[in-house]
Structure 1
Amino acid sequence: MKNKNILNYMLAASIAIGASACKKGLDLNPISQATTTNSFNTADDAEAAITGVYNTFSSQDYYIWDNVYYGDVRSDNHYSGGDNQEFNQLDLLNISPTNSKVYGDWAALYNAILKANLVLQKVPAITDAKLTATRKNQIIGEAAFLRAFNYYQLVINWGGVPLVLTPISTTDPSETNTARASVTQVYDQIVSDLQTAVNNLPDTYGSDASVNKARATKGAANALLAKVWAQRPDRDYNKVLTYCDAVINSPAGYALVTNYSDLWDAAHYNSSESILEVQFNGTTISNWSPGLLLPPSITNTTWRKFITPSRDLAKAFDAQGDVVRKNQSILFENAPWADEYWSTKVGGSVPFSYKWRNFVNGNSISRQYLLRLADIILLKAEAQNALGRPAEAATTLNIVRKRAGLQNTTATTQADMALAVENERRLELTQEAQRWYDLVRYGRAETVMNNLVETNLVTGQRVNYNMTKEKELLPIPQTELNRNPALKQNPGY
């Protein structure tokens, strides 16, 4: 296989397999470990193995909150908050290759990929009669989707990365050390995996939403294909439109929930709008990140919190008169600390990231949506406009605006519509790890970040983000470069 450090993580974690199989829903608790040589003989082995791949969504920092740093804190949506210098590097776009968060997330994503590789290699050979052909194909589709999903996170953050497509069986550097594939090669592999997923996955697994929103489905694969064909450098908006329509018209019956607040109140998870979400239950599988973001009135803690909404984000909501989504995304409260962007005095009004608002006795069922319909509807509007159909884009855009209580867009020209879609995605999807990649896709990351007016109230100085083209990508972790001489650093680092 490819990279020695990836190998170390695989050998340390092995593959989660051998305990209880997946029954009605997904049990995402850690499962007992087994080696690649004595497992994968039974249907239970296959179920436990695929559950182990899903486990990354609930067990790794990347999907719990680090992706919001990459997608929102790096952008104009949020400040890092707190006093962790490695988080501040992401906020100020001054990221070091030795940043431990960058290294940890790289390793976690590859760990998930290696688990998926093992499933894809071993499950087809299982002869247990309890593993029906239909279920075997579904598991193969799920593993292909999950490998693609994790590679998508790698390519949008680091660009071209090593393609690791078979399980590790050696520590020989000649096998584990390899150069980076090109960005196009990584995207091509993602598309190939997602086509396998579409061909093998059902629209639903039955009537239980807690299963249908926890597992990869045909709708999830089509949704990711739409995002992939928009994000890759050789984007194809005709394909984006095709895959968006496949989701919107899916037999799974995806539909926007009536009230935007229903997405976040913890009483309406696994809704018709959800395509894929992590099934935190607050007990055996609890989300700890809300305790790091929510105000003292909810957490009963007085230490400074992280991922603070920016002044520019608040202004963007106000400029649109967008009360509905602002109130569901930002909660203002007097804080028992000073904040360099909002209040230099202790006890001043400070905004808190509010979408993950459930927090009871230190536990939470608050969830990130890995994929949801509003994202796909707005992506459809983007594709329609890019294809020279701004009037159609307006009709699509207004579906989301209406749910937010806003009037129809006034944009009519293609240029104005492009900015309208960009802004709508910002307000709809804030704190959902999308903004940075939108700016990169639109070729506007440098313009937006260098024109951003944010003032440090302590120093009285405007923040200089010094955004460059090279900073669109994260640095390859220095630890990886040290271990694998075939890897090359991203330009600018």
Structure 2
Amino acid sequence: MKAYRKYISLFFLSLTALSCKKFLDVEPRDSVSDEQTIIDKTSANTALRGVYRKLGSDGYYGALFQTFGYLPGDNVQWTGSQSVIQQFITHKINADNGNLQTVWAAIYATINGANNVIAKVPGLQDATFSATEKNQAVGEAYFIRALSYFDLARTWGNVQITLTPTLNASDKLDVKGSTQAQVYQQVLSDLNAADSLLQPPSQTPNPVRVNQQTAWALKARYYLYQSDWAQAEAYATKVISDTRSYSLLKPYSAFFSPASAIATKESVFELSYSATYLSGHRNYWQPPANGGTRQWAPSDAFITLVNDPKTGGNRNALVAKTSAGLWYGNLYYRSPATDPAYVIRIAELYLIRAEARAQLGKTDLAREDLNSIRDRAGLTPVTELIGKDDLLLAIENERRIEFALEPHRWFDLVRTKRAGAVLNITNPQLYVFPIPANEVTLSNGNLKQNDGY
């Protein structure tokens, strides 16, 4: 019987991996306008795949946007030759930085793809396309649009909101910029729409596809950023409670190693790649000996922390060293470069809930969540009764190591108003990036450059 169960488990694991690959391996017809492609169920699914492709592109979660979350923090040092990267680490970002423009364009391309699905799928007349399937497709597009505007808001603050399809980038030139608060309000509106349309994990169990609990997870993050602790706790709990779909894997490396580890129960939402659809992220981290360029590497301070058994535990799997003694990040290491992009992990939900509970004065429960993360990392639990401030600092430090090579550290320090104390960045104008100079120039005066740039 045990052997039988083992083979059944392996079968479903293989089926999940196959479905991840199948979903994104179908080539979207990006060269054909959406007016022609979204005409029935098949073309709607093709368009939706295209939106996921845009989300996972090298300019967005495939590589460059992720760097915005860790390069300006304290876990990474510049080791390459590209000055556009150095600007983020030194917090001296020029408005004409090429990576700014690339990421900005990639996010708005993702939004436009989502807008096409949202606008056109509900009205399709296709007897094979059920109302439930249409709702699921549109819900996925709403979620992706919400995530896109969330990333725009926390990176740039005041940006343009476009909710209808455009044929080219110039179509939004006459759209006035919105405040960061207005952009965040649009995020919540889109998440509420997604929540009402998406199927639960029992119907959409694959973490490379958005389901209802994916929306709950992003809501938990959204409310954390808004300091709405009660809602952050509530939505994190809704996701954590589904232990059939999500769990903290042991050891820490189990969600990314071995190379066959994809779409694990650690992931609430990840983006998958394949031999015909590669991720560019690994190239920046891996050393030349492994076929990479090592444009950046873990900082000396982080190397010390992650290799200390009392702070890093088994999370030292995040780093490796060459025969020449050079340290490098090893979360993205596969060859060919099929490493997933980890957009939301269940570990984040535990630490969101821990922080929210600490802020609400539920210190015992907050400590339990913190210790769940520490236990998985092979660390001793925090048992002593500590005050709120010390507990929040312990959670901050845990997040620093847990998500060191993912896009969190910089945004965490900004949202908690700790960038000054930790990084000595005391000018709040630097807490958002400059809007790409070209976008300001072409906006007909509708998009204002952020103060200080």
User: What TM-score do you get using the length of structure 1 for normalisation?
Assistant: 0.83
Deviation of the 1:287 alpha carbon: 2.0
Unmatched 5+ residue regions in structure 2? 1-19
- 349-358 or 52-61: bigger deviation: 52-61
How far apart are the structure 2 equivalents of 1:131 and 1:23?
23
Is 1:197 equivalent to 2:197 in the alignment?
no
Which of 259, 278, 285 pairs up with 2:271?
A: 278
- 219-228 or 264-273: bigger deviation: 264-273
* Conserved 8 A contact 2:173-2:446: no
Aligned to 1:491: 451
Which of 359, 380, 385 pairs up with 1:386?
A: 359
* Conserved 8 A contact 2:216-2:235: yes
Instruction: Look up the SS of the partner of 1:34 in the other structure.
Output: coil
How far apart are the structure 2 equivalents of 1:39 and 1:404?
47
Unmatched 5+ residue regions in structure 1? 1-21, 336-348, 451-465
How far apart are the structure 1 equivalents of 2:398 and 2:373?
8
Deviation of the 1:289 alpha carbon: 2.6
| CA offset digits 1:295-350 (Å, max 9, x no partner) | 34433x6xx51221011212333556245444211112244xxxxxxxxxxxxx32
Report the residue type matching 2:447 in the other structure: L
Is 1:215 equivalent to 2:174 in the alignment?
no
How far apart are the structure 2 equivalents of 1:331 and 1:251?
32
Aligned to 1:468: 427
- 236-245 or 22-31: bigger deviation: 22-31
Residues 78-117 of structure 1: matches in 2 within 5 Å? 78-117=76-115
Aligned to 1:312: 301
Deviation of the 1:27 alpha carbon: 3.2
How far apart are the structure 2 equivalents of 1:170 and 1:91?
33
Please tell me the root mean square deviation across aligned C-alpha atoms, in Å. Answer: 2.2
Which of 220, 234, 246 pairs up with 1:254?
A: 246
Change (3 A) 1:423 1:386: same
Deviation of the 1:147 alpha carbon: 0.4
| CA offset digits 1:143-198 (Å, max 9, x no partner) | 1001011111111100121110011269987x632221111111111111111111
Aligned to 1:375: 348
How far apart are the structure 1 equivalents of 2:131 and 2:238?
25
Aligned to 1:442: 416
* Conserved 8 A contact 2:30-2:50: no
Change (3 A) 1:270 1:411: farther
- 242-251 or 136-145: bigger deviation: 242-251
How far apart are the structure 2 equivalents of 1:65 and 1:24?
22
* Conserved 8 A contact 1:390-1:414: yes
- Runs of 4+ in structure 1 deviating by more than 4 angstroms, as ranges, are 169-173
Is 1:186 equivalent to 2:170 in the alignment?
no
Report the residue type matching 1:376 in the other structure: L
Report the residue type matching 1:377 in the other structure: Y
| CA offset digits 1:423-473 (Å, max 9, x no partner) | 0011111101110111111110111112xxxxxxxxxxxxxxx55211111
Aligned to 1:7: none
* Conserved 8 A contact 1:325-1:428: no
Report the residue type matching 1:187 in the other structure: Y
Residues 424-435 of structure 1: matches in 2 within 5 Å? 424-435=398-409
Deviation of the 1:32 alpha carbon: 4.4
Aligned to 2:223: 229
How far apart are the structure 2 equivalents of 1:316 and 1:36?
49
Change (3 A) 1:169 1:330: closer
Change (3 A) 1:57 1:151: same
Aligned to 2:8: none
